[in-house]
A and B are shown apart, each in its own frame.
Chain A
């Protein structure tokens, strides 16, 4: 192993979640943890002040360096010694989150472009960076990956039902809605049983549809929770059995 490879390997160990006894990696993880938590403060104020601007700028710089280090060590992460590792790494979920968390820098480079101000909302993605350091979050990620197809089926079912009920209500009560988007909004609010009440049906057909939506909503909302809980319990039991063996 040449010197550059040795540096790369050590950098990889440092930027990844720390192992027992690796104080350098622990210090790096703590720095990222504080950068994520303190980096959220600017999102809690309406008008920026000099300190929030400084927090924004310093955390973005930290995350850019973190992203560069992670890309630099992508071959170790992916386990392939090839340029393909860097390309494959860029499409990993955590790599996308890392990239989104540094997007707000565009606003600082072009402060006069109002549109780029929208990118600042991506700062909220930084909180997902913490998932990398939590064992429980990693289990949850595995669980969601395992039941992906079932969740997609539930999502498809929900989207189909929302679209269908929005179309029916839009046709039966056209005076109630300014656009089809309003109908979609009403359907989503009804199926999730939130029911703000800002748009409410007046005809019998509309009211019947609302009742059906509320009942379907109870089942649809419960389904993903049940799927995830069952898979999570299965994963925990599997891990426990593995430890005992």
Chain B
């Protein structure tokens, strides 16, 4: 397999994976991301408060 073919293969696989994340999956990813951001915000604020 040539270098171009290899990179092309990766692109196909990658987009395939993305397609497999259904709507409920995307919602879960969204909720998890919001919670992670919220926790990071609280963590930073708590450290600032302590310092």
Contact = CB atoms under 8 A, between A and B. Distances in A.
Interface string B40-51: 101101110110
Contacts, number: 62
Contacts of B17: 21, 23
Contacts of B46: 41-42, 45, 49, 51-52, 55
Instruction: Give the most central of A14, A28, A51: most B CB within 10 Å.
Output: A51
Interface residues of B, number: 21
Contacts of A31: 32, 35-36
Chain B interface SS verdict (over half): helix
Given A35-B39, A54-B42, A58-B38, A27 B49 contact: no
Contacts of B21: 23-24
Contact of A34 (B29, B39, B45): B39
B42 A51 contact: yes
B39 A38 contact: yes
Interface size class of A (residues with CB under 8 A): 20 to 34
Majority DSSP secondary structure for residues of A touching B? helix
Given A23-B17, A23-B21, A41-B46, A28 B39 contact: no
Among A27, A41, A58, the most chain B Cβ lie within 10 Å of the Cβ of A27
A234 B33 CA distance: 40
Nearest to A51: B46
Interface in A19-71: 21, 23-24, 27-28, 30-31, 34-35, 37-38, 41-42, 44-45, 49-52, 54-55, 58-59, 62
Contact of A51 (B18, B25, B40, B49): B49
A38 B50 contact: no
Interface in B1-51: 17-18, 20-21, 25, 28-29, 32-33, 35-36, 38-40, 42-43, 45-47, 49-50
Given A30-B36, A34-B40, 13 more contacts: A21-B17, A27-B32, A31-B35, A34-B39, A35-B39, A38-B40, A38-B42, A41-B43, A41-B46, A42-B46, A45-B46, A49-B49, A58-B42
The 3 closest A-B pairs by CB, nearest first: A51-B46, A27-B32, A38-B43
